């Protein structure tokens, strides 16, 4: 092989692949949630760690959040190498990888999915469909809820217009709602103008963008498990030297190891919502169970409809 390249080309390739003279590499990082808000914080911790551990070897240039790039375009930008590292949830990039939204349906922790084949199955799809490597899920055990500006008395959303992402679409529609998809940055205005009567969002983070001011009710129980994860473009990762790659992989493992701790924030935000006067509409007992069962049934039906090939297999790996 070597003889096919002129000497300067070989020198370049050696440097580029991180030989002895490797330069510090800077990767471009972007988040699909507003900077410094709950779902960006794990990513920001990861960047701080990489930039500290990677001094002289590898750095991440944090480009920022939705002000720099619309959240639903982040997946495509990562796939095409416009950015190297992203923080996003699967629902935000179903345009490039429909099955990614299935993460919300996991009923097993990531440590288990990394052993039972579920993670490997997804990793293969990330490589094929998105030129991506999944580094770390930093949010787990974090249920979604329906938040409303008007009360309901039973699990029937007929007549309500709700803000959604792909996470909630099938479930809320099955309960009779009309839905409108928006990125998080448009929720406040939609509530303020009365364009929607409520929205789907996890238990944490509604204070970050001021939505508590416009929210009167939270519906319990919660459903699913919010997923927010860091991905890296496959070519960007492959270009790194083993040493540079180790900085990234170690920071990723460190971050994912703390995912369960985010659950502590569930209790904090639940209390904060109460203090803010948000009333809980709770479906108790069999009603609550039926509400949650409907969420999973419609959620999986949605994934399987979009991916008859992979949906049923993911259901086996992810469900309990």
The reply to whether 147 sits near ligand 173 by the rule CB under 6 A is no
| Binding of ligand 173 by 89 (CB under 6 A) | yes
Instruction: Tell me the C-alpha distance between 291 and 222, whole Å.
Output: 9
Q: Give the ranges where 37-143 is alpha helix by DSSP (H).
A: 38-53, 74-79, 110-116, 118-130
Is 88 strand, coil or helix? strand
Q: Which stretch binds ligand 173 (CB under 6 A): 79-87, 150-158, 198-206, 264-272?
A: 198-206
Q: Is there binding between residue 91 and ligand 173 (CB under 6 A)?
A: yes
* Angstrom distance (rounded) from CA 216 to CA 142: 21
311 binds ligand 173 (CB under 6 A): no
CB 169 within 8 A of CB 273: no
Count of residues that bind ligand 173 according to CB under 6 A: 11
Note whether 225 binds ligand 173 by CB under 6 A.
Answer: no
Site for ligand 173 contains 202 (CB under 6 A) = yes
Contacting residue, 31, 40, 87, 165, with ligand 173 by CB under 6 A: 165
| C-alpha torsion 124→313→263→40, nearest 10 | 40
Give 132 or 146: the residue with its C-beta nearer to ligand 173. Answer: 146
Structure tokens at 243: 């040493």
The smaller minimum CB distance to ligand 173, of residues 228 and 248, is found at 228
Q: Closer CB to ligand 173, residue 58 or residue 164?
A: 164
Ranges within 177-196 binding ligand 173 (CB under 6 A): 184
User: In the range 34-73, which residues lie near ligand 173 by CB under 6 A?
Assistant: 39
**Minimal CB distance residue for ligand 173:** 165
Contacts of 108 (CB under 8 A, 6+ apart): 116, 118, 318, 320
The answer to whether residue 167 forms part of the interface with ligand 173 (CB under 6 A) is: yes
Helix (H, G, I), strand (E, B) or coil at 211: helix
75 interacts with ligand 173 by CB under 6 A: no
User: How many CB atoms within 10 Å of residue 163?
Assistant: 24
User: Which residues lie near ligand 173 (CB under 6 A)?
Assistant: 39, 89, 91, 165, 167, 184, 200-202, 226, 228
């Amino acid at each position: 092989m070597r003889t096919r390249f002129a000497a300067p080309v070989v020198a370049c390739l050696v440097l580029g692949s991180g030989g002895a003279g490797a330069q510090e590499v800077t990767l471009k990082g972007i988040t699909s949630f507003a900077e410094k808000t709950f779902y960006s914080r794990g990513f920001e911790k990861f960047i701080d760690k990489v930039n500290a551990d990677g001094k002289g070897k590898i750095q991440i240039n944090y480009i920022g959040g939705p002000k720099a790039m619309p959240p639903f375009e982040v997946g495509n930008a990562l796939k095409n190498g416009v950015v190297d590292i992203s923080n996003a949830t699967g629902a935000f990039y179903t345009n490039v990888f429909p099955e990614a939204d299935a993460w919300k349906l996991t009923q097993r922790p990531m440590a288990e999915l990394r052993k039972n084949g579920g993670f490997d199955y997804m990793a293969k799809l990330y490589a094929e469909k998105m030129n991506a490597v999944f580094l770390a899920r930093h949010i787990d055990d974090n249920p979604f809820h329906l938040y409303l500006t008007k009360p309901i008395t039973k699990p029937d959303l007929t007549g309500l217009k709700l803000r959604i992402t792909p996470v909630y679409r099938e479930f809320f529609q099955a309960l009779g709602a009309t839905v409108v998809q928006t990125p998080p940055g448009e929720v406040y205005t939609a509530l303020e103008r009365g364009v929607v009567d409520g929205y789907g969002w996890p238990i944490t983070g509604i204070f970050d963008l001021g939505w508590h001011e416009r929210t009167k009710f939270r519906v319990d129980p919660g459903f699913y498990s919010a997923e927010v994860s860091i991905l890296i473009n496959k070519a960007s990762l492959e270009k790194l030297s083993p040493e540079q790659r180790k900085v990234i992989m170690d920071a990723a493992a460190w971050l994912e190891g703390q995912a369960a701790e985010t659950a502590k924030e569930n209790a904090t935000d639940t209390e904060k919502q109460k203090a803010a006067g948000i009333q809980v509409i709770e479906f108790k007992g069999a009603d609550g169970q039926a509400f949650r069962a409907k969420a999973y049934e419609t959620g999986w039906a949605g994934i399987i409809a979009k991916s008859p090939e992979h949906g049923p297999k993911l259901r086996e790996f992810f469900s309990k």
